[in-house]
């Protein structure tokens, strides 16, 4: 199974490698747009692997007609990854409260 970092790296791979950190979001959107146009099943698989909500994506697309689909997807990917980071940080703090002898 491919991990999240590998999936994000894949999105940013090939000729879409980030060359300017100030412009990374635009390049990220370009890569997603490229996948939308050339390999939609691969993009869907990546979104599934990153656990981006299908329902949330559908609602965002419906509520934002005329807005760039690739940008919406990019923002949802970033939002989901941020949620995961926060959740892991909270779980790590809770683990610190457990005595070493009681940890698995």
Q: DSSP H helical segments within 50-68, as ranges? A: 54-63
Looking at the predicted structure, is the pLDDT value of residue 70 above 80?
Answer: yes
Domain segments of the chain as ranges: 4-96
| In the chain, % of residues over pLDDT 70 | 71
CA distance 50 to 62: 21
Separation in Å, CA 10 to CA 19, 20, 22, 37, 69 = 15, 18, 20, 16, 19
Out of 5-19, 48-62, 85-99, least confident range: 5-19
Count Cβ atoms below 10 Å from residue 46 Cβ, excluding itself: 22
pLDDT at 95: 60
């Amino acid at each position: 199974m491919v991990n999240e970092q590998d999936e994000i790296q894949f999105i940013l791979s090939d000729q879409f490698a980030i060359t300017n950190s100030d412009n990374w979001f635009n390049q990220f959107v370009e890569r997603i747009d490229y996948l939308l146009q050339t390999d939609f099943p691969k993009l869907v698989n990546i979104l599934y692997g990153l656990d981006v909500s299908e329902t949330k994506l559908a609602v965002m697309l419906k509520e934002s007609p005329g807005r760039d689909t690739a940008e919406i997807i990019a923002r949802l990917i970033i939002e989901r990854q941020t949620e995961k980071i926060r959740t892991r940080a909270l779980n790590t703090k809770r683990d610190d409260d457990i005595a070493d002898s009681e940890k698995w």
